[in-house]
Amino acid sequence: MAGSATSNAARTVARALVERGATRANPNLFELSSALEGRGIGRAFTKAGWRAHPMRYPETYWRLTRIKTRASGRSGEAYGVLTWKGRDRGVEEKINGSMKRVWDVVAEAAAAGERERERGPTLKAPPVVDANEEEEEGKSEA
C-alpha cells in the first residue's frame, strides 16, 4: 500500500517536471527536489530498488536536510538523514547515488501510516484492584 502511494507521488512530481520541460521522465534527486516546495528540504526520498522490495527494505528512505546544486540544477551535493529499515541514524550524511535516476518522493501520509502500523494501537493498563481492599469495604458497609 505504501509503495503505491510513494510511486504515485513520484509520478505526479515527475509528470509535472516533464510537462514544463524541466527534466527527464526519470529524474535524479536534484531534479525531483527542485520541483518541490522549499527544494524538498525535510521531505523523504527513496530509491526505486528499496521501493520494489518492501519486505527487504521496510521504511527505508533519506530525509533531505540540505542541498547544494550546480548552476544547471541537475547535479550538486545532497545531505540527509538515513532511515534504514525503520531505524533513524540521526546523523547528517552525504547522500550517495544522488545523480542516479532512481529516486522517488515518499508520500508523507504513507510514511506516517507505516510508522503507525508498526507501533500498533496504544493500550491503557486496566486499573489495579486489590482483593483485600474490596473485602474490607464490604465489611465496613455491613
What per-residue confidence (pLDDT) applies to 113?
47
Domain that holds residue 14: 2-141
Total number of domains constituting the chain: 1
Report the DSSP pairing between strands 76-84 and 61-69: antiparallel
- Does residue 1 have a pLDDT over 60? no
Distance CA 39, CA 30 (A): 9
**DSSP characters over 57-70:** STT-EEEEEEEEE-
Overall average pLDDT of the 119-137 stretch:
65
pLDDT value of position 106: 84
- Between 126 and 32, the higher pLDDT residue: 32
Question: Which residues lie below 8 Å from residue 47, measured CB to CB, with a gap of 6+?
Answer: 97, 100, 102, 103, 104
CA–CA separation, 16 and 132 (whole Å): 70
Residue 77: Cβ within 10 Å count: 13
| CB distance 31 to 50 below 8 Å | no
Please write the tens of the pLDDT for every residue from 69-100: 888 878 889 999 999 988 888 899 999 988 88
Q: Which of 39-53, 64-78, 87-101, 120-134 has the lowest mean pLDDT?
A: 120-134
